[in-house]
Structure 1
């Protein structure tokens, strides 16, 4: 039976009373906050749309990925219930579900946790590639086998308001293979991303990568060089 864990600082929750808070659905967007800990600044980021939630934390000086988790959610009575698809700390805490108490305070997202984190919304920026994408196959598109929603092995890309993140994971075993993210632009067939965190190689933080892209029906054709400088051609399918 799956256990539901309340998380402090994302792993143990307690309720706080804030007189000025109001009950409301979470407004889709990207939210940020910072927290000082042991002389370091921890960046906390939330990406949330109408049914999917991703949380990530990292430091930039020095660069260090801390953790990420995410999945489909429902919201009722100011409790966000998340059925996780991935959890980078799964081997440590075994969490597959979360229950997150929250409120919206004007435009801010308040997680009613022991830390009392208040997340501020990022600027709204609409771009060509906004949305969720699942890796389908390597190009060129010549009828080769594709991975899709039915496959437990997934690589998800979540692009929203100028922020991107990819996550590689397995929904059956909860094996976490890696993640990276930061800021991006996509315009006139040119996709550019700047890396803010990268779980596999912290030395890549700060790098800017440029790719060519083309939208064909429900597919994103992505060409260029990867973080190792190797040529790549990927096809991503829009997640519905």
Structure 2
């Protein structure tokens, strides 16, 4: 079997599978303010984000690979938006009894994706997805979140998330939280998307109204 054929075969087989994922939510209170906790997770990765809706305000986000220890989840963080204040790189999750599942449905593009480059004109400009500075987008059961971060320095560069749909080549995001500009909450963004092997081409306009054509590649692991 030729290497190129083998890679194509594996990628086609992979995208025919249903990727496990679940989305949960719970609410806590701090100083009389309701804080929404949204959790996106698959069988190896955990992301939790805190935000408020009255007013719309991003609070924090954490995420990384996890393993189970009894009923607990042990998470080795890749990012922590509050790292400069708390220096936390590992967490233990044991409050699942208050989680409420809010998963919608398994949609196209479900999984974890890394920003792999952009297209300017007809020219692709790729980036090394193995470098510490990453932008990852995780899509689980109708919800999405992107995070820009550095796995070595733990510097945090922004995040945004909400709900999404993907139908007949049209990908739509509705923003529920955005660390860079709380005023963007509620905005609906529509893009064209095409999957090409392990790549996802994402074309449209950013939340600032700038044209973009991004290339995302599926993250393994």
Q: Is the 8 A contact 1:54 1:70 kept in 2?
A: yes
1:183 to 144, 163, 169: 163
What SS class does the counterpart of residue 84 from structure 2 fall into? helix
> Which one has the bigger helix percentage?
2
Per the alignment, residue 145 of structure 1 pairs with 126
> After the TM superposition, which residues 169-180 of structure 1 pair with which residues of structure 2 at under 5 Å, given as runs?
169-180=149-160
Per the alignment, residue 56 of structure 1 pairs with 49
Q: Is the 8 A contact 1:132 1:238 kept in 2?
A: yes
Write the distance in 2 (CA, Å) between the matches of 1:232 and 1:28. 28
Structure 1 unaligned runs (5+)? 1-26, 103-108, 111-117
Per the alignment, residue 79 of structure 2 pairs with 86
Q: Does 1:226 align with 2:206?
A: yes
Q: Does 1:209 align with 2:193?
A: no
Kindly tell me the number of residue pairs found equivalent between the two proteins.
Answer: 200
Change (3 A) 1:207 1:144: closer
Write the distance in 1 (CA, Å) between the matches of 2:30 and 2:194. 42
Per the alignment, residue 100 of structure 2 pairs with 120
Aligned structure 1 segments of 4 or more residues deviating by more than 6 angstroms: none
Write the distance in 1 (CA, Å) between the matches of 2:124 and 2:185. 36
After superposition, the C-alpha distances for 1:110-158 in whole angstroms (9 at most, x for unaligned) are 2xxxxxxx0111134011111110000011574533221x210100100
Q: Is the 8 A contact 2:39 2:48 kept in 1?
A: yes
Write the distance in 2 (CA, Å) between the matches of 1:158 and 1:123. 14
After superposition, the C-alpha distances for 1:150-186 in whole angstroms (9 at most, x for unaligned) are 2101001000111000000000110000000001101
User: TM-score, with normalisation over the residues of structure 2?
Assistant: 0.86
The Cα of 1:223 is off from its aligned counterpart by: 0.4
The Cα of 1:99 is off from its aligned counterpart by: 1.9
What SS class does the counterpart of residue 103 from structure 2 fall into? coil
Write the distance in 1 (CA, Å) between the matches of 2:59 and 2:67. 25
In angstroms, what is the RMSD of aligned CA positions? 1.5
What SS class does the counterpart of residue 144 from structure 1 fall into? strand
